[in-house]
Amino acid sequence: MQLVSSETSLIIAGAWNLAILTPVWVLQHGLKKPLDGSNIIQTYLPATPGGIFDFPRYVLNGLSFSVRPDLLFLSPSESMPEDMSILEDVAASMLEELNHTPVTGIGHNFVFRKENPEAIDLNIFTDSRQDLTDITPNEWQPASSSISTSFKNTDETIIVNIHRECEANMLIVKFNFHHPIKSIDEALIVLKGENGLDRMSQNLVLAKSLMAKLYGEIENE
């Protein structure tokens, strides 16, 4: 099983002003970097098959971010504890600056994949669709399967969503550690790991531990 570092992300749901959250603003107020021309900003504009551009992604000083009206996405350059800590600190600085922004949730997201999974890894998918397999026409063959499961802690301060899917001989597992919040103050508690809450790196350790127990040794991409 392999951790897909490029899919590690911190997501903050809220009402975002795209005109404010420019790369220059994030550089100055999030990263606390001087605007002296020494910082390189890269812009990526992913295009859909129809030729319509999605929201741009910006890369600067070891992190990338993208913003749309309802979500702010931030990703570290690597899935190392220090990189994720910097990401959370940057997000906290941005929220402290935008302290009137409505926010509703924070998510820590991690993705794992396994090429050519063993038969034992796929049994759960086979079992989950067996009743359908028994009644579908013989010429129908399973193309893909997915299973989603959610857990929550006792005080419901965090919900862990785990989505497993198998397609084209690839097993993919997606973790979302969701923190329901109602204010900037609550968001800062999550980002700083206060009140007993785990930071991103700690949740990644947990996700890796669960994956190792199910699928064996974990490798970084």
pLDDT of residue 174 exceeding 90, the answer is yes
Q: Is 84 a domain residue?
A: yes
Mean pLDDT taken over the chain: 91
The pLDDT, as a whole number, for residue 133 is 84
Q: What is the mean pLDDT of residues 160-173?
A: 94
pLDDT for the residue numbered 54:
76
Domain that holds residue 39: 2-117+148-220
Judged against a pLDDT cut of 60, whether residue 150 lies above it is answered with yes
Q: Would you say residue 122 lies in a domain?
A: no
13 part of a folded domain: yes
Residue 156 lies in a domain: yes
Q: Give the chain's domain count.
A: 1
Alpha carbons 198 and 202: distance in angstroms, whole number: 6
Q: Does residue 20 fall inside a structural domain?
A: yes
Which carries the bigger pLDDT value, residue 96 or residue 155?
96
Q: pLDDT tens, 57-70?
A: 999 988 999 999 99
Paired tokens of 30: 């999030």
Q: Which residues contact 23 (CB under 8 A, 6 or more apart)?
A: 41, 43, 58, 60
> For residue 216, is it within any domain?
yes
Select from 103, 111, 95 the least CA-distant residue to 172: 111
Q: Token digits for 116? A: 């050519």
What integer is the mean pLDDT of 121-147? Answer: 87
Phi-psi region of 202 (alpha: psi -120 to 50; beta: other; left: phi over 0): alpha
